[in-house]
Structure 1
Amino acid sequence: MADSSNGKKVIEIDVSSDTVCPWCFVGKTNLDKAIEKSKDSFDFKVRWHPYFLNPSAPKEGVKKSDFFGQRFGAAQFDQMQSRMSQIFKGLGYDYDTAGLTGNSLDCHRLLTYAAKQGYEKQHALAGELFINYHVEGKYIGDKQVLLDAANKVGIEGAEELLNDPEKGVAEVNEELEKYSSRISGVPHFTINGKFEISGEPPEVFQRAFKAAV
């Protein structure tokens, strides 16, 4: 267990996630609340790793209602949307159901690249992309949306990365194999390599922090 320069114990958190997953956004929101409540006791290093809920999703955007309605059926899709809308409202957000969805590879390329410039920037980028997709109805396969998010959190070199569709793909695949190949769903949080939890309330994260040191 490492100590930071201020003497606090460092909690290392590995997160497997997909930007198009609403539960991953809920999980990040609860994680952030737990970190805020625990920051006087611990320092945190959060690392984001890729996972594909829909690896065969099209690169070009399609309506969420069309894509998920076809995948789950209209009735189940409506139930899912209603439930997520209530959950998001409880977090202080409006859940977008009218935007586009599609392949999240470019998101994962950008997030994996961002880690090289600092995990705090990567964490901020993950949050920005979640808001873009789940709240603002922006399509995360749109290069300009990704560039705007990268610029907002201070990621350099994003345009060069996104202009080359092959750049960063090998790194994403390496991350998939190392961190996400043995799991079957997201979000998935590993706390100090000891405790594995999914989307839980903030107090569950807080208990895991204390138990992991």
Structure 2
Amino acid sequence: MMSKTQINIDIVSDVVCPWCVIGYGRLKAALANFYTKFDINIVWHPYELNPNMPKEGENLRQHLSKKYGTTLEGSIRARAMLTEEGRKVGFKFNYFDEMKMLNTHQCHQLLHWAKESDFQNQLAEAFFEHFFSNRGTFTEPELIHIVGKVGLNTEQAQSVLANNSCTEEVKLSEAHWHRNGIHGVPLFIFNSEKALSGAQEVATFENVLNQYLK
């Protein structure tokens, strides 16, 4: 039997970034035709869009208004557009008026901790779904529940959060991306050599993957 070509895909992302959800959904759609050809390994890397966000969060519309000058009308249009783009990749955006922008540092600690398991990808997907589809927040009990739901050890996860044991690694990783000129997400890197920034179309991902066919 011929061995498959190894494809490593690094994704730099934040779990409250809607374009990260859409970009990842489009990547998955592209990968659907390549699993018989490639041995695909996906690793998620942290990028906090709002590292100074307080734990209680901030109303999402107020946050976007202050940060980007987004108007109420613009917010309504953007949510409708994102909801439609999500639907196209099988993801449900469930926006609501009281939705908050949240601090995601603990999520990234858990994703870093999960990197050595077979469940990091499932955990990233579960965080997206929890925040955008299920109107969840990132309290510690909610995070631990999600960890258990995807099959990871909840006691170890509690220890990670209680001791902030992955904080330094998360900060070092984020500093690496900033030093390399990354100022927005998502970013998709193929085999440490080809990078795509933003929520690219399915065909764009397919074009990159085709370059690795033997």
| TM-score higher than 0.5 | yes
Q: Does 1:155 align with 2:157?
A: no
Per the alignment, residue 175 of structure 1 pairs with: 173
Q: Does 1:35 align with 2:31?
A: yes
For 1:127 and 1:181, locate their aligned partners in 2 and report how far apart those are by CA, in whole Å.
27
Task: Give the letter for the 1:24 counterpart.
Answer: C
C-alpha contact 2:12 2:187 (8 A) present in aligned 1:
yes
For 2:110 and 2:128, locate their aligned partners in 1 and report how far apart those are by CA, in whole Å.
13
For 1:192 and 1:179, locate their aligned partners in 2 and report how far apart those are by CA, in whole Å.
16
Q: Which runs of 5+ in 2 are unaligned?
A: none
For 1:87 and 1:106, locate their aligned partners in 2 and report how far apart those are by CA, in whole Å.
28
Q: State the 1:6 CA deviation.
A: 6.1
Q: Does 1:138 align with 2:131?
A: no
Q: Alignment partner of 2:158: what SS?
A: helix
Q: State the 1:86 CA deviation.
A: 1.9
Q: CA deviation digits over 1:46-88, x for unaligned, max 9? A: 1100112122222113332333344333233223212212212
| Fraction of identical pairs, as percent | 26
**TM-score, normalization: structure 1?**
0.87
Q: CA deviation digits over 1:17-59, x for unaligned, max 9? A: 0001000011111122222221011011111001121222221
C-alpha contact 2:20 2:185 (8 A) present in aligned 1:
yes
Q: Alignment partner of 2:12: what SS?
A: strand
Per the alignment, residue 185 of structure 1 pairs with: 184
Q: Alignment partner of 1:37: what SS?
A: coil
Per the alignment, residue 15 of structure 1 pairs with: 11
Q: State the 1:180 CA deviation.
A: 4.9
For 1:124 and 1:179, locate their aligned partners in 2 and report how far apart those are by CA, in whole Å.
23
Q: CA RMSD in A?
A: 1.9
**How many residue pairs were aligned?**
205
Q: Which runs of 5+ in 1 are unaligned?
A: none
